[in-house]
Structure 1
Amino acid sequence: MEDIRRQHTNSPNSNRDGLSFFKSIFFNNSGSSNGADADSVEAFTAAASPNEAIPSLSPLANSVISRCSKILRVSMEELQCHFETELPESVKQPPNYARNLLEFCSYRALHLLTDRPNYLKDKEFSRLTYDMMLAWEAPDLNSEPLENAQGTASSSNQEAEDEDGWSLFYSSSTNLAAQVDGKKTVGMEAFSRIAPACAIVADIITMDNLFDALTSSSSHRLHFLIYDKYLRSLEKVIKSVNSAFGPQLISKLQLAEGEIILDIDGTIPTQPVLQRIGLSSWPGRLTLTNYALYFESLGVGLYEKAVRYDLATDMKQVIKPELTGPLGARLFDKAVMYKATSMAEPIYLDFPEFKGSSRRDYWLDICLEIMRAHKFIRRYNLKEIQQTEVLARAVLGIFRCRAVKEAFQIFSSHYKTLLCFNLAESLPGGDRIFETLSSRLALLNASGSQRDSLGSPNRKMQLTLPFSVLTLSRLKIMTGKEALVDGEEETVDPVGDVCVGETNPLEIAVKQSKQGIGRAEAAQATVDQVKVEGIDTNIAVMKELLFPLIETFKRIQLLASWEDPTKSTMFLLLVSYTILRHFGIGSFFLFFQACLSFVVANGMQQQFYLWEIEETLLGWIKYAVSSIIGSIAMLMLWRRHTNKGRPLDAFNITAPPTRNAVEQLLTLQEAISQVEALIQSGNIILLKVRALLFAALPQATDFIALLLVFMAVIFALVPLNYITLLLFLEAFTREMPLRKATSDRWLRRVREWWFRIPAAPVQLIKPDDKKRN
């Protein structure tokens, strides 16, 4: 089998155009001027004959396997023999035999097809992969047949194409749903088994969201017209990356080795990109690579030297949406803010457009994807080949996002992103996806020392090559040292994230993480409903929420004023007795602890050591506090003695840059906005606490009640100094390398749990305006 594949790969005809290759396979063109092509088609005609059809398979499945056999230049019988001998018995059982055989043949054929030039724009590639999905849903004779699945979609496509090769149905989802037969569509499960075999088409992490985006107007069923348009849009994106960003631009930006330009904006005069620093703003061209952002301000007809904003190095970068406007006014929600420790002040990239903010949201997402990919690399300390694979995975995700956005004008919501690292960061329990991905990246082997047959269900040996890097190399996007994987293509059959008859661990991790989406979205909806605008309104809401505490503080002030001596005296005696009683209870529990220790061997000696440690700590604390106070007093007396009445030297302070009246007003406006945001966040916290107190979410209330009971027992039984010591150790060692991973995981769990708590409802009642009445 390998000899046949090598012979085919090294043959002179293997370098001809991809279109003629597909036509030689799928069409018996007797009038072809190329005799070799005609002979090859004639040689494989027998493979499609009914005599070689596999009896247990459906006609469509036999058709797909027949075409796969032509691509692989082997007979259907030999393909079935390879399936029988290379795969274990677990995937050859009768219930799933036909489907697993179809997957095996499809994966092998797709490995060769994706090595051909321009395969994305060829209709026969899209037709074959779509038929693979159709056949997967009905692989055997017992399955419900999909009649004329190929003919219906194909004829509709040919009749509806305009002069540019695009279907007229794409402009109207209603016409598409009405004119294409609903039975000739593909479901999510079939798409998830075939599409990820081509790394450029789909990613195992985001394939559900991609399918939802492609089927948003077709009742969650994928039509061939939509699928074909998506592949053509992908091909246009790849072509633009290969051709539009020439050597002149690369040399001007001074890109490093392995740095790839992913997208450019601001080149069209009607759609500028404005960079704002303070009150200054100027148009320019924005470029994103897999390592940084570059902004070139537009001078007199020429672009000036690019300013680089690093996304790879750990500089505490912050990228978030922001409001901007003329002279720095916060009017339009169409900007991205970038801030890092290496910068004195943040910069704002404004994407003006007449309606919506999809342009800004797209750039925000792709910048976050690159930044989070590098953060993932640092978190798991990945090696060079693993780093390249992670960045290549992020690059392919951005290409898919561009293709969907440009073809269908669809922009995903928060949980429907097509970018894998953004999705894992936003999903509840998304760190499990990161952990699974890192464990699979650990299996990468660029040296090719391990050999694995295609489709082998051995998970430990499944991932032996960086398949995303290999895909970019085949698409002529990634070159240089990353191209070393090309030498392994003849001996290894890469299949990406799919495996015959088994579910990828990444897919399982994504499904587990998505189980908590419903509660998180419902809780976020309640938070959005209770948010109110205006600092005065937010202060009013906070006053009502804090009414019990405010009223308690007023009553304590009233008692401290001694306007009612009787009540003040009773309060004074009660508080004094409580303080003294507290020390009495503490002594009792220390005695009780000593009695328990005396029961065990050497108990009294152990308790003596505990008391000694406790007394030592308390003594150190007392001496430390007294030393600090005494040192301050001695310093003051020493200064008084040495100054001898001389005037005090002026205290030097670096003054902020001078601002005019407009700048000061804008600074005041920004400060008020920040205060309003803080009050609003405080209101959200109080409303969630109110929801917990009144059991708006019973499960969370039960958990908090049990936690409070446990804390009460701890405070009652454990001395306060031990609790203080434990809290100090927990806070101070949180960033310790030994604890950092565990601490981050637990903090993420707490945040995710908090996000799932709904906010208590708020109703604003307008007071009666008696003057107006």
Structure 2
Amino acid sequence: MKARFQLGQSGLGEMTMMGKTRDLLGDLVGQGTMKWMLSRRSSIDEELEELRRSQNKWISQLSPFANVIVARCSKILNVSMDELELNFDMEASEMIKGKDCYARNLLEYCCFRAIMISVQTQDYLSDKNFRRLTFDMMLAWEVHSAASQSEVKVDGESTVGVEAFSRIAPAVAVIADVITGANLFEVLASSTGGRLPFNIYEKYLLALDRIIKRMKVQSESSHLSRQRASRGERVLAMEGTLTTQPVLEHIGMSAWPGRLTLTDHALYFEPLRVLNYDKPKVYDLADDLKQVIKPELTGPWGARLFDKGVMYRSVNLSEAVVIEFPELSGNSRRDYWVAILHEILYTHKFIRKYQLRGLEREETLLRAVLGILRLQVLEELYPTISLKNESVLMFNLTYQLPGGDSILETLAEMAVLREADRAKKLLPQGGTSSMSALSFFSDLVLSPRVSRDGLLVGETVVGELSPLEKAVRDSKKNFKAVKSAQESVDGVKVEGINNNVALMKELLYPVTEFGRFLASVYHWDDSLKTLVFCFVGSYIIYRGWITRVIAIFLLFMAIFMSASHLFGQGRVEEIRVKTPPPMNTMENLLAVQNAVSFVEELAQDGNIILLKFRSLLLAVPPQATNQVIVGLVLGALAMLLLPSKFTLFAAFLELFTRQSPPRKPSTERWMRRLREWWVSIPAAPVALCGEDGDKKRR
């Protein structure tokens, strides 16, 4: 009985432990920690089973998961998978239907057509099915073929890479664009090893949906409605309210707190009074006012102490305005505002340059608006990451990228083509090409169309690179080379005045050696060498071979560079510089002071020479002026009457024989007379005046 009782207790304990485990798993599933993963796996399996049982055709070239995605697309489009494949075969070119790329291009075709329908519903970003669908499209893009599925298993923890994101996401213009898509992905996947999981992707879309709705609410209920009504401006950012950090406006020596608001056309600052805000000041960003926006130092009473300001200057302002964004550490707020202000300014420059009107202009503005909203999402999701704001703003990035002008030209051409397509669709029905900004925004900004290159959704063409994608790809290739060159420049910068002087001497060694050679020839240190030089130089000038000598020198440089390219294979040996002994702080200060004094003396001597020439030009010293007039007349007659090669021949021989033994005494005598003549010329008077115009110093 005792044994039975112990056995019963043991069984009861095991049952209790199993019950607790079951309860714990039930709690986890009920709380949602495992519910999604389990339901996700079973959902895919169920779709596969349903697909195999259904009448839909199983496409053998596609992986099982890609077949599931195509089946979802067929349901959205309300056509069978057979019809989808048949339409693709009929519309696609032979190159797109090639054996090696057939599976991926067919998948793209189905995905893009499904996206065209999905985005026409209201509030699609808040729909979990839409978020899941677009992410699964990226997963399927990576494992599109039947062979790839055996290597990669798709489950609830699968992630996508930058290529899949850059290919699928720009088809939904709200989510990403072709130009900044890769940079956006880098930020989103920065904490997950360069791969994007669904939970972060979903969090990004939900935050984007929330910020878009907030922007619409702010734009409809803005306190600036009177100022904004004529242009229908959207409110993009606001600072200086009771719930945000303060903002100060500096004009001259004065500073005043207030509320700052940015729209897609202008910047508004409302000075804070006792109980309310004063009438807003408008700093226009849309018109061509030669605006300049750049970071600026700020401080009390005009002192330049803190690097937290943004300077705005235009032709309709008498003096520049500085907006300060005080914060305890760093200048991230200021950098964010500089970036978004530049984005609006560059957008309107683009609109004016290509003379965009109507929906083309509205579409361009919405591109900039979406970029700023996406940046706000990243600022909200990643507050601790130091973001490079310009990299996710389309027009900021194109103005920085090499070849960015080609990207802008392509954007303008695409806008004109879309406007022509809209006109063809609307005008025959008796309509006009006008659409409200709100409906245009809801319809994903960019209307999909079928072009001669294939199905074009946003800026993406099925199976091919669109003109915009090609321009972006070429620009990024050049940018990598520029970035690599800049990194090499940053890597060779040395600190210290003495080290930089030593490096410069080493780099200029060939030039200094050539200068020493010319000085030796000029002073006749080696008579034979100087005679040979004068004979060869005179013969070249006399025969008129100067251009040939220059051409031979250029060819020699080209041959030398070609040989270096062939045999050096791009390797450059390090320049070894013997560094001078290190200097302490006092020695550095003295070196700087000596350099400043040297530059000041050079400037003084240069000014004296210019002032003496001014005296001669205005005939202040009569005798010296007459001599200069005679010399100028004789020089002009010589150039007019004598052939140019004889004039050059005479000048060459005069220069390189003046220090020869027969001519040296007379040269010294003439140089002494010339110095005495130059010293006898007075300088023109100078008056230094203050800001009030009174003469302060002569």
Match of 1:473 among 439, 450, 454: 439
Letter of the 1:510 partner, please give it.
V
In the aligned structure 1, how far is the partner of 2:284 from the partner of 2:442? 25
Structure 1 residue matching 2:238: 3-state secondary structure: strand
Structure 2 match to 1:507: 469
In the aligned structure 2, how far is the partner of 1:321 from the partner of 1:591? 55
Match of 1:368 among 318, 342, 356: 342
Match of 1:261 among 223, 226, 235: 235
Q: Structure 1 residues 144, 318: closer, same or farther in 2, change over 3 A?
A: same
Letter of the 2:338 partner, please give it.
L
In the aligned structure 2, how far is the partner of 1:191 from the partner of 1:470? 30
Structure 2 residue 397 is the aligned partner of structure 1 residue 392: no
In the aligned structure 1, how far is the partner of 2:691 from the partner of 2:351? 40
In the aligned structure 1, how far is the partner of 2:523 from the partner of 2:541? 28
Q: Which runs of 5+ in 2 are unaligned?
A: 1-38, 41-48, 427-431, 510-519, 548-613, 623-686
Q: Structure 1 residues 141, 475: closer, same or farther in 2, change over 3 A?
A: same
State how 1:96-175 maps to structure 2 within 5 Å.
96-145=101-150, 149=154, 152=156
Match of 2:272 among 284, 290, 298: 298
Q: Structure 1 residues 113, 229: closer, same or farther in 2, change over 3 A?
A: same
Structure 1 residue matching 2:193: 3-state secondary structure: coil
Match of 1:65 among 63, 70, 77: 70
In the aligned structure 2, how far is the partner of 1:271 from the partner of 1:396? 24
Displacement, 1:527? Answer: 5.5
Structure 1 match to 2:54: 50
Structure 2 match to 1:498: 460
Displacement, 1:294? Answer: 1.3
Displacement, 1:232? Answer: 0.6
In the aligned structure 2, how far is the partner of 1:146 from the partner of 1:416? 38
In the aligned structure 2, how far is the partner of 1:586 from the partner of 1:284? 75
Mapped contact 1:272–1:352 kept (Cα < 8 A):
yes
Q: Structure 1 residues 277, 62: closer, same or farther in 2, change over 3 A?
A: same
Mapped contact 2:455–2:461 kept (Cα < 8 A):
no
Structure 2 residue matching 1:143: 3-state secondary structure: helix
Letter of the 1:274 partner, please give it.
L
Larger radius of gyration: 2
State how 1:187-266 maps to structure 2 within 5 Å.
187-266=161-240
Q: Deviations over 1:111-141 (max 9, x none)?
A: 1211111111221111011111111112232
Structure 2 residue matching 1:314: 3-state secondary structure: coil
Displacement, 1:68? Answer: 1.6
Displacement, 1:146? Answer: 8.1
Question: Greater CA deviation, 51-60 or 498-507?
Answer: 51-60
In the aligned structure 1, how far is the partner of 2:489 from the partner of 2:433? 42
Q: Structure 1 residues 653, 217: closer, same or farther in 2, change over 3 A?
A: closer
Q: Deviations over 1:146-201 (max 9, x none)?
A: 88745x2xxxxxxxxxxxxxxxxxxxxxxxxxxxx3xx111122112211110001
Mapped contact 1:47–1:70 kept (Cα < 8 A):
no
In the aligned structure 2, how far is the partner of 1:415 from the partner of 1:257? 27
Displacement, 1:280? Answer: 1.5
Q: Structure 1 residues 119, 48: closer, same or farther in 2, change over 3 A?
A: farther
Displacement, 1:404? Answer: 1.7
In the aligned structure 1, how far is the partner of 2:508 from the partner of 2:456? 67
Residue identity over aligned pairs, in percent, reads 43
Match of 1:334 among 308, 311, 330: 308
Mapped contact 1:47–1:69 kept (Cα < 8 A):
no
Mapped contact 2:235–2:262 kept (Cα < 8 A):
yes
Q: Structure 1 residues 527, 439: closer, same or farther in 2, change over 3 A?
A: same
Q: Structure 1 residues 653, 121: closer, same or farther in 2, change over 3 A?
A: same
Displacement, 1:74? Answer: 2.1
Mapped contact 2:218–2:235 kept (Cα < 8 A):
no
Displacement, 1:433? Answer: 2.2
Q: How many residues align?
A: 507
In the aligned structure 1, how far is the partner of 2:137 from the partner of 2:523? 87
Displacement, 1:80? Answer: 2.2
In the aligned structure 2, how far is the partner of 1:592 from the partner of 1:569? 24
Q: Structure 1 residues 372, 330: closer, same or farther in 2, change over 3 A?
A: same
Structure 2 residue 388 is the aligned partner of structure 1 residue 429: no
Structure 1 match to 2:13: none
Match of 2:288 among 293, 309, 314: 314
Mapped contact 1:274–1:349 kept (Cα < 8 A):
yes
Mapped contact 2:267–2:284 kept (Cα < 8 A):
yes
Q: Deviations over 1:29-63 (max 9, x none)?
A: xxxxxxxxxxxxxxxx9888533142313222222
Q: Structure 1 residues 470, 446: closer, same or farther in 2, change over 3 A?
A: farther
Mapped contact 1:107–1:495 kept (Cα < 8 A):
yes
Mapped contact 1:110–1:197 kept (Cα < 8 A):
yes
Structure 1 match to 2:80: 75
Question: Greater CA deviation, 127-136 or 329-338?
Answer: 329-338
In the aligned structure 1, how far is the partner of 2:539 from the partner of 2:412? 52
Letter of the 2:341 partner, please give it.
C
Structure 2 match to 1:279: 253
Mapped contact 1:48–1:66 kept (Cα < 8 A):
no
Structure 2 residue 310 is the aligned partner of structure 1 residue 345: no
In the aligned structure 1, how far is the partner of 2:337 from the partner of 2:689? 43
In the aligned structure 2, how far is the partner of 1:577 from the partner of 1:655? 63
RMSD of aligned C-alpha atoms?
4.9
State how 1:682-693 maps to structure 2 within 5 Å.
none
Question: Greater CA deviation, 355-364 or 117-126?
Answer: 355-364
Letter of the 1:513 partner, please give it.
S
Displacement, 1:334? Answer: 2.0
In the aligned structure 1, how far is the partner of 2:315 from the partner of 2:55? 71
Displacement, 1:208? Answer: 0.8
Letter of the 2:115 partner, please give it.
L
In the aligned structure 2, how far is the partner of 1:134 from the partner of 1:321? 42
Q: Which runs of 5+ in 1 are unaligned?
A: 1-25, 28-44, 153-180, 453-464, 552-565, 594-627, 637-649, 658-773
In the aligned structure 1, how far is the partner of 2:270 from the partner of 2:415? 36
Structure 2 match to 1:588: 542
In the aligned structure 2, how far is the partner of 1:213 from the partner of 1:97? 32
Displacement, 1:419? Answer: 0.9
Match of 1:409 among 383, 392, 405: 383
Structure 2 residue 692 is the aligned partner of structure 1 residue 655: yes
Mapped contact 1:115–1:474 kept (Cα < 8 A):
no
In the aligned structure 2, how far is the partner of 1:95 from the partner of 1:567? 71
In the aligned structure 2, how far is the partner of 1:516 from the partner of 1:509? 11
Letter of the 1:363 partner, please give it.
W
Mapped contact 2:63–2:143 kept (Cα < 8 A):
yes
Q: Structure 1 residues 215, 495: closer, same or farther in 2, change over 3 A?
A: same
Q: Structure 1 residues 50, 412: closer, same or farther in 2, change over 3 A?
A: farther
Displacement, 1:275? Answer: 1.4
Q: Structure 1 residues 487, 331: closer, same or farther in 2, change over 3 A?
A: closer
In the aligned structure 2, how far is the partner of 1:208 from the partner of 1:544? 43
In the aligned structure 1, how far is the partner of 2:355 from the partner of 2:531? 58
Letter of the 2:273 partner, please give it.
G
Letter of the 2:282 partner, please give it.
R
Structure 2 match to 1:733: none
In the aligned structure 2, how far is the partner of 1:547 from the partner of 1:92? 63
In the aligned structure 2, how far is the partner of 1:413 from the partner of 1:466? 39
Structure 2 match to 1:639: none
Q: Deviations over 1:47-92 (max 9, x none)?
A: 8853314231322222212222222222222222222222223222
State how 1:615-626 maps to structure 2 within 5 Å.
none
Structure 1 match to 2:418: 444
Displacement, 1:303? Answer: 1.5
Q: Structure 1 residues 568, 73: closer, same or farther in 2, change over 3 A?
A: closer
In the aligned structure 1, how far is the partner of 2:309 from the partner of 2:459? 36
Structure 1 match to 2:15: none
